[in-house]
Amino acid sequence: MSSDPALTTTSYAILGLLSVRPWSTYELAQQMDRSLGRIWPRARSKIYEEPKKLVRHGLARAERQLVGRRPRTVYAITAEGRETLAAWLREPGDGPVLECEQLLQVFFAESASPADTLATVRAARAWAVERNRGNLAAARDYQAGEGPFPERVAQLLLVGRFLTDYYRLVAEWADWAAELVERWPDDLRDAPVAAEHFAETVRRAEWSDD
Amino acid sequence: MSSDPALTTTSYAILGLLSVRPWSTYELAQQMDRSLGRIWPRARSKIYEEPKKLVRHGLARAERQLVGRRPRTVYAITAEGRETLAAWLREPGDGPVLECEQLLQVFFAESASPADTLATVRAARAWAVERNRGNLAAARDYQAGEGPFPERVAQLLLVGRFLTDYYRLVAEWADWAAELVERWPDDLRDAPVAAEHFAETVRRAEWSDD
DNA sequence: GACATATGGTCCCATAGGGAGTATAAGGCA
DNA sequence: TGCCTTATACTCCCTATGGGACCATATGTC
């Protein structure tokens, strides 16, 4: 339909939201902040650009409205958009990408003081508590039958469970790590070799041995 | 020291590797593929650019060597580099960033067939098995006292445990999700409301309630 | 001697992050 | 009534990043 840049996964994320209902760009940005951004985080500026690309590809329609004297644009998916979305869903996408500056800092802990590393590990726990708060609130809403998209509850349950377990994992790891770091000497080369901790790690990883 | 672009977290990742020992750029790229890339994934082209930036900032030294007629560059950290690294380690960095196209596809499962979603969930499990393989092998090496950096075993244990539990989480989630998806009707709005699954999710998220 | 694979890189462009900047609308309060 | 704050509704720009294409030499194997 055009020689426009090809669709990216971010395009499909926006297209997916439009398949649920029409949104203004501002609402799309909010939605990314509050929910979709937890599994597909993107900068605000991109959220405002993507719908325009979808329109150029014929996958969405833009409707200009007026709120007082201020214009706003509401986007809706087209039939071709629904087909394109379905085609994307037919091919499993990439697996999870993890990127964690805090883990990087733990990885290079020998160049820091144990106190610094402890602070980093505690920051990881605080992050998990904060993220868990919003996720728990959303889960309780749906449990009470009060979520905004009751017809999507089956899908949301799957994603919500992943996030719940993920935040929990970060917190439990941080607690365990903090206990170890508290007993670290200043020179990490002198740290006691934690044979049983390694054995436990290996045990936990052996699930994939058939 | 310069009006060069500022250091990024990727700069510190490379600087950290240089604090362990000198590496050629090719070795750095390999190291990112095999180990550091699991917590800070970056494109190869960037790995070749970063050390040059470190040199411009006075944080690393480059030594040109010859292997036959072919030149290669080996980078080593400077005293200023060690100070800069330590300063970065003093401030806890950003928390984990998760980005998962597969979860996005599950999120929009009402536009796919249950069979498509099942394939996506199975792809997630396969991803976890694959990632776990390398991680388990490394853990076993260190457990046997055969890892390449025995003096770094304390830090590596912490990061290794995080990854172990993370891959396990993905696999267990995928198994659980597959069971549910297998019972999905074609129209997801007719899917049975899984009250007990929501209750279980809420229970698992309640760890942060004080 | 031929060929595959490992080593050691450079270059380019579209995508992405993220902050600064610009306006208007709506709601609260004095 | 007017003022102030917050929400709505965007645009622009600069640098970082992803990732593939491309190039060359060295080493190991048959």
In chain D, which nucleotides are within 7 Å of a protein Cβ?
Answer: 8-13, 15-21, 24-27
Evaluate whether residue A166 is within a structural domain: yes
Residues facing residue A144 across a β-bridge: none
In eight-state DSSP terms, residue B59 is S
Q: What is the number of domains present in chain A?
A: 2
How many of the other CB atoms lie within 10 Å of CB of A183? 11
Residue B95: inside a domain, yes or no?
Answer: no
Residue B132 sits in which domain range? 101-208
- Please tell me the distance from the alpha carbon of residue B180 to that of residue A201, in angstroms, as a whole number: 29
CB-based contacts of A167: which residues, under 8 Å, 6+ apart?
A128, A131, A132, A135, B205
Q: Are B51 and B29 in contact (CB under 8 A)?
A: no
Which of B90, B119, B140 represents a domain boundary (last residue)? B90
CA dist., res. B48 & res. B23, Å (int): 12
The pLDDT of residue A125 = 97
User: Are B117 and A89 within 8 A, CB to CB?
Assistant: yes
Residue A96 lies in a domain: no
For position B52, what pLDDT does the model report? 93
* Best residue in B19, B77, B100, B202 for a mutation probing chain A (most A CBs within 10 Å): B100
Q: Return the pLDDT at A1.
A: 40
- Which of A132, A164, A205 shows the shortest C-beta gap to B136? A205
One domain, residues A82 and A107: no
pLDDT of residue B4: 67
Q: Write out the two tokens for B5.
A: 């672009």
C-alpha gyration radius of chain A = 22
Q: Are A139 and B198 in contact (CB under 8 A)?
A: yes
**Residue B180 covered by a domain:** yes
Nucleotides of C under 7 A from a protein CB: 7-12, 14-20, 23-26
CATH of the domain at A44: 1.10.10.10
| Chains A–B, number of C-beta pairs less than 8 Å apart | 328
Query: Per mean pLDDT, which range of B64-73, B98-107, B117-126 is the poorest?
Result: B64-73
Q: What is the predicted pLDDT for the residue at B2?
A: 40
Mean pLDDT of chain B: 93
Model pLDDT, residue A104? 95
